[in-house]
Every structure is written in structure tokens, then in C-alpha cells.
A and B are shown apart, each in its own frame.
Chain A
Amino acid sequence: MSTNGMNDNNNISIKVENVSKQFLLPHQKAGTLKSFFVNPFSKFENEKQMALDGVSFEIKKGEFFGIVGRNGSGKSTLLKCMAGVYTPDKGHIKVNGSLVPFIELGVGFNPELSGRDNVYLNGALLGFSRPEIDAMYQEIVDFAEIEKFMDQKLKNYSSGMQVRLAFSIAIRAKSDILLLDEVLAVGDTNFQKKCFDYFEKIKRENKTVVLVTHDMGAIEKYCNRAILIEEGLIKSQGSAQEVAYLYAKNNKEIYFDNKLKNQNKSKEDFTTKGITCELMNDHGKESNKFNYGDTAILKLSWKNPEVKNIGVALIRQTGEYVFGANTILDNFDITDNNIGYNIKLDIGEGNYMFKIGFFGKDDSEKLEFIDEGPAVVIDSDTVQKWGGIVKLDHKWRNNV
């Protein structure tokens, strides 16, 4: 039994136990003697912000572990606690092995020093001695492809050159555990390719890597496991795919809420023009949320008697024009000042929006236009089993 316990401990790379971190955000930058003398007894007005609230998890040796969350969720604070930059208010973090944090590339780079001096300075921060850097200096320079600039001051480098230099030093760091914070967000595609190659390499080497990002592609591609952090709490943990799915779903809900808020405003805008517009599901209930294959019903009414043609377009959040139709092309005669429009939503998961145009006899005679019409959120309770915007008829066959 005890041997098992030992083995378990040996397999754990980082153990985070009930970690809390709170920041005091002073409302104004206090901290001068004057404010102390004026008001010596009352503490400065601080807003307390719970960045992490009792977070616990374990990372096993050789695991590629993802931490995801929206901006301000506490994921970077967590990383900094693991890196030893912040001291947690409560709880413990146990790190088993040597650890190198890449919270930023080129930490300690000094613009006034030459590229060569910066290599030695940055290398020392990563734990290398002078002879060690001497030995790999040429490799670093070759990898960064900036041989002839090494004796120039860093401030004369382009930002791309700086990043390349920083990266080629960083990847030499020898450690059991690597902490990476959105390093991927910088650099051109060529550089990102190098980053990914490096990730592949360390993944093969079975190093423990902790990656903090909101790039779901990277999480799904590299991570074995992940946690989702929201407002300082672990919202979920599990396989990278599960967490990435939950995160995307979460974002969709937030997007949806924002959209609804905006919609009430734009609704008022066009009611003043005498237009009403309602989106309902096939039970006749007002809704913006649909599943694949549901029918949505759009009800429009207007006051302008000139309206002879109405067009409705469905646009995806990412900008693609998915589908559009108008009454004239469909040979539909408008007889009154209101119509209904049924549309079967055979479209993939995502956020969509209606645009609605009211035209006169002539197509070019645009009377009214609703640019931000009702939002449509296509959601499914399970992971969607196909990709793309529309599901096309398809069939697989053997022996053809």
C-alpha cells in the first residue's frame, strides 16, 4: 500500500492544493506619505479581487496539460503561482523537478545591450553558466538566423528578430517542466511553425508541459488533459477535447447573452420606423436558440405601403453569407403589411444572424434595412459529428 503511495507521488509533476490568491486593487495609486498622514488609520480603499479561489489539481509526469479560460479568469495568475512569481495566499503548490517558465519570451532582454550580451543575460536567467552558453552560442545564433546582427544593440533589431533570438535561447532550457503562456500569440506564421515543431519535439520527449492559452486548436492538438478556469474556480477538468468543447460552448452562451442585450436596443430602433420582427421556434415561442434541423419562424410587419419585396439573409458570425431569398425571386406576392418566413436550419453549430431588407417595386429601391436582425445560435447537446457550415447529403460506400 505504501509503495503504491510512493509511486503515485513519483508520478506527480505539479500538485496544486487548494490555492487561493487575492489581489488588492487600490482605487487610486495610494502609497505616498501624504495619503498616509491625511488618513493614517483607515486603510486605503481597496477593491479585493479573488483571482484564484481554492484551486486544486494534479499534473502527472510527461503530461501536456492545458489551462484555458477567458481573459481575467485567473489562468495567468495560476501560472504565475506555479512559476513561483506569485506567492499564494492559501494552499500549496508542490513542484517535482526543475521548472522553467516562459511567461514571456526574452525576459530580461535589455535594449541597450548587444544581441550577444543579451544571449548571456537571458541564458543566465534560464540557469545557464557562461561556458554552457559559450558552447551553444553558435547554435542559438544559427537558429535565430541573425548572425551578422549579434554585435548590434537589441534596440536596433526588428521585433521579429528579437522574438527569434529569444525563442532560440528559450528552447535550449533544460528542465523537467515547462510552463508556457500564450507564447504562440506572437510572431509570423513561419515562427509559429517553429513553435509547433518545438511543441511536437517536447511532446515526444515526454516532458511535462503546462500550456495556458485560449487557442482551442492548440489545446486539442497537443494537450492530454486540460482544466477550464472561470472567475478563479475550476469549472471543469478532463480530456482536452471535452474541455475545449465546454469552453467553446461557454463562449457561445456569453456571445448569445450579449447579442440579446444588443437586440433589445436595435428592436427599439426599428419599431420607431413601424417595423416589428420576431423570431420564434416551431412551437410559436420566441427564441434565438435552435438545434440543427429545427425550423425557425420569422414574423415581420411594417407600416410603409410602398414595400413590395422583402429579402431575408442568414449570415454567420464569422462573416459567411449562408443563405438568402427574397419574395420576388420566390414568386411570392405580398398582400398585406405582414408576412411569416419559415426556414429549416440545416446548418452547423455556431452563431448566425438575420439581415432583413424591405424594397419597393424595383430591387434598387431600398426602403428599410435591418442590419443586425435576430440572432440564431445553433447548439447541440452533443459534440457535432460533422464539420463545416452546412450539412450536405453524403454517403460512404465500400468496394467501388
Chain B
Amino acid sequence: MRQILPKKNRNLLFEMIRTDFKLRYQASILGYLWSVMKPLFMFAILYVVFAKILKLGTEPNYALSLLLGIVLFNFFAEATGGALKSVVSKSSLIRKIDIPRHLIPVASVASAFINMLLNLLVVFVFVAFGTGTAVSWMTLLVFPLLIAELVLFTIAFSFLLSAMYVKLRDIDHIWEVVRQALFYSIPVIYPLSRVPIEIVQQIMLMNPLVQIIEDARSVITYSGVVRIPDVYQNSLMQLVPIAIVFGALFIGIKYFSKRSKYFAELV
């Protein structure tokens, strides 16, 4: 840790996150409250449409599962979307000073991370008043690990996307579409158990986002979710999404450091 983030860089990272946070809700009356209210509004809309009108959510604690799914997915979407433009938007810095380039997308992810923590606080308030939730001592152990996995996966994409965006500005639009598709391809609105074919469930669970959301639900909202051991005989399959996360991280860091030499002349 000390090697990756020497003191000087830690100071800088801290100031960058502070700046990002200060600027985000500037001149808005409700300020930081918005970062909590936005997912709640989204939750309210989706809940009314899918649970009340389409009668999708009959599972136990559907509402809480939906909220948790939204918060986790929102972090991924918001952080990658913000990080994508982070390098280009810091062009005035990059062209004039030799700051460690990798701090830029990391700072962007970090400020989305703080947002997610605020949102999770709200989730836990609901969980505290809920009944039949799956919270136990295991939650304290497993949930932080899942969040760590999610953060690493997000950082992997943030490195990749922010470096690609410097060269190819279409990435912004492409990623918007991909995010949209991802939202429906992972079980945020619908429970994974509603997916009728087992092989589709098997394939979906190889996506780290799906695995993280399902595992998180299993320790927080209710235990009846579909997890990797439920659809695979081989328990080693649990390692595949984790391997994908680290693979993506490796590729992201490699690509970013290869491209970052030329950021100053391209942005």
C-alpha cells in the first residue's frame, strides 16, 4: 500500500476527492441529501411499476432486495461513468504537471464510493426495521469482502474506460448503452430465481456483478436467492467471477499505464 500510495499521493488523492465532493452538489439546497434521494426515487418508481403494477415482486423482502440491488448497481454505473471522463476533464492538470495519472480515475471512483456508503446506510436503516432479513454475524464478514470485490471490478473498468476515452470519444456513448443493457441483464428488478432456464442462470452468475448482488442479498435481505453453489455442482466455479475481477483489474491497469504516457499530448 505504501508503495502504491506514498504520502504525497495520498494527500493529493484526498484533496481530489474533497474537491469532487465539494463541487458535486454546489449551489443546491439539499446538497448531499441528493446522493441518498436519487436511488430512493429510482427505487420508488421501479417498485411501483414492477411490484405493484406488474406484480413481479412476490418474493420475501423484494423491496429491500430491489433497493440493495439499485444501490450496488448505481455505484458501478455512476463510478465508471464518472471515471470514464475523469482523465479528459483533468486535461489542464495532465498537460502541465506530472501527477500520478492513476490517481485520477481512482479519485473519481472514491467519491462514488463515499456516495454508496451513504446509500448503504439508508439500506441498513430499512433493514433494521425490516422483518425476516438475512442479517447475521456472517454479514459483517462477507459483506465488506463483496464490497471490496465490487470496488476492484469498478476500478478495473474505470482504468480501461478512462484511458480509452482519451483516444476514442465514442466510448462515452457506447458505455451508456452498455450500462443500460447491464441494468436489465443482471437481476436488479427481477429476482434471479425468476429466470426460467438453469443454464442461463449459470451463465449470468459468472458475471461478477450478478454474483456480488446475489451474494450480498443472501447475507442482508433474504436467504432464498440463487447463488453459484445452487446451480453448479463444482464448488470451484465460485472462483470464476473472482478470477474475472482480477483479470479485468490486471488488463485495466496494464492498458492504463501503457496509454498514460501519451495522455499529456492527446487530451
Contact = CB atoms under 8 A, between A and B. Distances in A.
Nearest to B23: A112
Nearest to B99: A125
Contact of B26 (A31, A87, A112, A127): A112
Contact of A86 (B15, B93, B265): B265
Interface of B: 7-8, 11-12, 14-16, 18-19, 22-23, 26, 92-99, 167-170, 261-262, 264-265
Given A31-B169, A107-B92, A117-B22, A83 B15 contact: no
A101 B264 CA distance: 15
Interface residues of A, number: 28
A125 B90 CA distance: 13
B86 to A, nearest CB: 14
Given A101-B97, A107-B93, A113-B22, A125 B264 contact: no
Given A83-B97, A101-B96, A112-B26, A125 B262 contact: no
A80 interface: yes
A125 B169 CA distance: 28
A65 to B, nearest CB: 19
Closest 6 CB pairs of A and B: A84-B98, A124-B15, A87-B261, A33-B170, A103-B96, A124-B12
A121 B98 contact: no
A361 interface: no
Contact of B92 (A32, A87, A108): A108
Interface string A74-87: 00000010011111
A121 B94 CA distance: 15
Given A32-B169, A32-B170, A33-B168, 20 more contacts: A31-B169, A84-B98, A85-B98, A86-B264, A87-B262, A101-B98, A103-B96, A104-B96, A107-B93, A110-B19, A113-B19, A113-B23, A117-B18, A121-B15, A124-B12, A125-B93, A125-B97, A125-B99, A129-B11, A130-B14
B265 A23 contact: yes
Contact of A31 (B7, B18, B94, B167): B167
Interface of A: 23, 31-33, 36, 80, 83-87, 101, 103-104, 107-108, 110, 112-113, 117, 120-121, 124-125, 127-130
Name, among B15, B22, B262, B264, the residue most crowded by chain A CB atoms within 10 Å (CB to CB): B15
Contacts of B15: 120-121, 124-125
Contacts of A23: 265
A32 B167 CA distance: 9
A85 B97 contact: yes
A124 B93 CA distance: 13
Contacts of A128: 11
A108 B91 CA distance: 10
Contacts of A33: 168, 170
Nearest to A51: B265
9 contacts: A31-B168, A33-B168, A80-B264, A83-B97, A107-B93, A110-B19, A125-B97, A128-B11, A130-B11
Name, among B7, B16, B95, B265, the residue most crowded by chain A CB atoms within 10 Å (CB to CB): B265
Contacts of B264: 80, 85-86
Nearest to A80: B264
B107 to A, nearest CB: 11
Contact of A107 (B7, B8, B16, B97): B97
A80 B95 CA distance: 8
Nearest to A21: B265
A127 B8 contact: yes
A110 B93 CA distance: 11
B18 to A, nearest CB: 8
Contacts of B170: 32-33
A208 B21 CA distance: 38
A110 B15 CA distance: 12
Contacts of B19: 110, 113, 117, 121
B196 to A, nearest CB: 36
A129 B97 contact: no
Contacts of A32: 168-170
A85 B11 contact: no
Nearest to A128: B11
Nearest to B98: A84
A20 B102 CA distance: 25
A36 B174 CA distance: 15
A108 B261 CA distance: 20
Contacts of A124: 11-12, 14-16
A129 B96 contact: no
Contacts of B167: 31
A112 to B, nearest CB: 6
A129 B170 CA distance: 38
A48 B96 CA distance: 22
A101 B99 CA distance: 11
A7 to B, nearest CB: 29
A36 B95 CA distance: 26
B153 to A, nearest CB: 25
A128 B10 CA distance: 11
